[in-house]
Chains A and B, each alone.
Chain A
Amino acid sequence: MEKKRTHLWIAWILVTPVILLRGFTTIYPVVTTFINSFFDIRLLKSPYSTFAWLDNYIKIFRDPKLITSLQFTAIFTVVSMLFHIIIGIALALLLNVKFKGRRFLRSIVLIPWAMPMVVVGLAARWAFNNNYGLINDLIRRVISSFQYDWLVYPFSARISVIIVDLWKDVPYFAILVLAALQFISEDIYEAARIDGANTIQLFTRITVPNILKTVLTLCIFFTIWRMTSFDVVYSMTSGGPGDSTSLLAYRIMTEAFTNLNVGYASSIAVILFLMMSGLSCINLFCIKKIDI
C-alpha cells in the first residue's frame, strides 16, 4: 500500500520537535553568522556593532595569519584525503578478506574511530616529543643516534598533525568503503578469473568501478570534516609552532572566542562555508557524471 496523504497534521505533530530543535541550532545560527560577517563587532573594543560593508572580507586577504591558515588547511585537506583514499581502500580490501583473523581485525580497526580525538591529540603531543616520545623511541631502536623535535619545526609539525589525523580517521573511511565492497558479488570475480584476468586487472576493472561512487560520496564528507577539523590542532599543537598548524576552524574559534572579533570570525566562517559548498557541488557533479 501507499504512504498516507491524508491526516498530514499527525505527521507534522510528530516531526515538530526535531524541526524546532534542529532549526534553532542550525538555521538561526547560520543566518546570524552570515549577517554578522558584514558588521564590525569587536567585543573587546565596544559592545556595539557597526555596519562595515565588506571590510571583514577584505581584511581576510591582508591578514598574514589567515593566509597561513588557509594554506595549511588546503595542504592538510589535500594530503590527508589522498592518503585516506590510498590507505583506506587498501585497508578496506584487507577487512573484506575472509580469514581467521577477520573479527579481531575488525574490532581493532574500530578502536581509533571510537576514541576521542582529544585523547589521541594529547597523547600525540607527548608521542612526538624528542626525548621521551614514543615515535623517536621507536626510531632510535633502529637508528640509535636519531634526534628530532617534531612539533618544534613548522614542516614536521604539519606532517605530524596529518599523521595523527590519518591514524584516527582512516579506519573509519575503510569501514565505509568496506560497505561498498561487500555489495560486489564473488561470482563476478570468479567469472573474470576464469576469463584469465590477473589480480591487478580484477582490482582495476571490477573493484574500482564498483566502489568509485561510494568513495567519491565519502570524499564529500571526509573533505568537509578535514576542512573543519578543530580537535586535532586544539589538543595536539594549539596551532603552533607560530601559526603554522592553525587550521581555519581553529583560527575562527580563536578569533570568535579569544580575541572576541566576532564580525571577522563570521566572515572567515562564511568563506569556509562557501568553499565547502563549492567543493561539494563539484564532487556531486562528478558523481552524477559517473552515473551516466
Chain B
Amino acid sequence: MSYKIKKRMRTILIWFATLITALVILIPLYWIFISSITPEHELFTSPINYIPLHPTLKHYQKLFLSLNLIQKMFNTLFITAFALTISTVICLMAAYGFNRYESNALKIAQMSIVFSMMVPAIVKARPLYTFIRAVGLHDTFPGLILLYSSNLIPFTMLILGNFLTSIPISIEEAAEVDGANFFQKLLYVTLPLMRPAIATILMINFITCLNDLFTPLYFSNSIEVLSVAITTLPKDDMYSMPWELISSMGWIIVFPIIIFVCVFEKNIMDGIMAGGVKT
C-alpha cells in the first residue's frame, strides 16, 4: 500500500515539475504571440489582457507591405542555404580525409579545427572585418556565406567525424575489391551511409545560421537578415520601442522554429547529444 502511495506521489511530482517547466517556457511565447495581434494602443494597458479583445493582423500586414520582410526572409534563406551546402560538402570531404588516412600532421590539423570552436568571435571580429573589407567582400552575399560557412565548420566536423569513425572501413574495402574506383566508393558506399548524420547536422546548422546575430551585424550593412532586421525596426523616438512590430516579427521567426523543433525533436536531440558526449 505504501509503495503505491509513494509511486503516485512520484508521478504527481513529475507532472508538477513538467507543468512548471512548460509554463516558464511557454508563457513568454504566448505573451509574444498575443502582443503581436493586439492593437498598438492596447499594448499600453495594465493589466495585460491575456485573451486579446480586438485581435488584429495589421502589424503583420505592415511588416510585409511597408517594411519589405519578404526581402529579408529571402536574404536569410539564401545565405543559410549556401552556407549549409558549402559547409556540409567541404566538411564531408575533410572528415573523410581526416578519418580514413593517418599521419601526425593530419591529426594536429584536425584537432586545431575542432578546437578553433573555442576561439570567440569577438577576439577575431576587428581584424576579420578589416580583411573582409580589404578584399571587397564586406556587405556582399559571398562574404557573408563564407563567414557563415566558416562558423559551422568545427561542430560539423566533430559530428561527421565521429559518425564516420563508426562506419567500418571494411565496407569500403569490399567495394574496392568489387572494382569500384575512389569516387564510386565515396559516392555510392560511404555517402549513403552518412545520410542520418548529414540530416541531423543540417537541422542543427540551420538553427545556428538563423540565430546568428554577430556575423550579419558587423559584416554587412545593406543586406539585412532576420536577426538583424528585428533590431532595426522603425520606432517613434529614441526611447520608445516598437513592441507591436517586434512581437509580430519575433513571432514570424519563432513560430516556424517551434514547428520545426516539435517535428524533428528526436533528430535534433540526438544530434546535440552526439556532439556533447565526445567533446
- Nearest CB of A to B15, in Å: 7
Residue contact A122 to B98, C-beta cutoff 8 Å: no
Q: How far is the CA of A266 from the CA of B123 in the complex (A)?
A: 7
A99 lies within 8 A of B14 (CB):
yes
Contacts of B22 in A (CB 8 A): 104-105, 108
A214-B106 CB under 8 A given contacts A107-B262, A228-B120: no
Q: Tell me whether B170 and A117 are in contact (CB under 8 A).
A: no
**What is the minimal beta-carbon distance from A83 to any residue of chain B, in angstroms?**
13
Minimum CB–CB distance for A263 against chain B, Å:
10
Contact A25 B150 (CB under 8 A): yes
A7 to B100, CA, bound (A): 11
Q: How many whole Å from B112's CB to the nearest CB in chain A? A: 8
Residues of A in contact (CB 8 Å), total 96
Asked if A253 and B127 make an inter-chain contact with CB atoms under 8 angstroms apart, the answer reads no
Query: CB-CB < 8 A to B131: which residues of A?
Result: 24, 28-29, 32
Q: How far is the CA of A264 from the CA of B169 in the complex (A)?
A: 52
Per-residue CB contact flags for chain A residues 245-289 toward chain B (1 = under 8 Å, else 0) read 000010011001100001001100110110010001000000000
- Asked if B123 contacts A33 (CB within 8 A), the reply is yes
Q: Which residue of B lies closest to A110 (CB)?
A: B261
List, in ascending order, chain A residues with CB within 8 A of B213's CB: 116-118, 230-231, 234-235
Instruction: Mark each residue of chain B from 186 to 219: 1 if its CB lies under 8 Å from any CB of chain A, else 0.
Output: 0000000000000000000001001101100010
Partner-B contacts on A (CB < 8 A): 1-5, 7-8, 10-15, 17-19, 21-22, 24-26, 28-30, 32-33, 36, 91, 94, 97, 99, 101, 103-119, 122-123, 125-127, 131-132, 134, 137-138, 140-141, 167, 171-172, 175-176, 178-180, 182-183, 214, 217-218, 221, 224, 227-228, 230-231, 234-235, 249, 252-253, 256-257, 262, 265-266, 269-270, 272-273, 276, 280
Q: 3 tightest CB-CB pairs across the interface, nearest first?
A: A14-B97, A179-B273, A32-B127
- 29 residue pairs A–B, Cβ–Cβ below 8 Å: A3-B100, A3-B169, A4-B100, A11-B101, A12-B106, A14-B97, A15-B93, A15-B106, A17-B93, A18-B91, A19-B94, A19-B109, A26-B119, A26-B150, A30-B123, A33-B127, A107-B261, A116-B227, A117-B211, A119-B227, A123-B31, A123-B32, A126-B35, A175-B276, A221-B118, A230-B121, A230-B214, A234-B213, A235-B213
* Besides A19-B109, A141-B47, 8 new A-B residue pairs in contact (Cβ under 8 A), listed by A number: A17-B93, A18-B93, A101-B14, A122-B231, A134-B48, A175-B272, A175-B273, A269-B122
Residues of B within 8 A of A (CB): 11, 14-15, 17-18, 21-22, 24-29, 31-32, 35, 43-48, 90-91, 93-94, 96-103, 106, 109-110, 113, 116, 118-131, 146-147, 149-150, 153-154, 157, 169-170, 173, 182, 207, 210-211, 213-214, 218, 226-228, 230-231, 241, 243, 246-247, 250, 253-254, 257-258, 260-262, 265, 268-269, 272-274, 276-277, 279
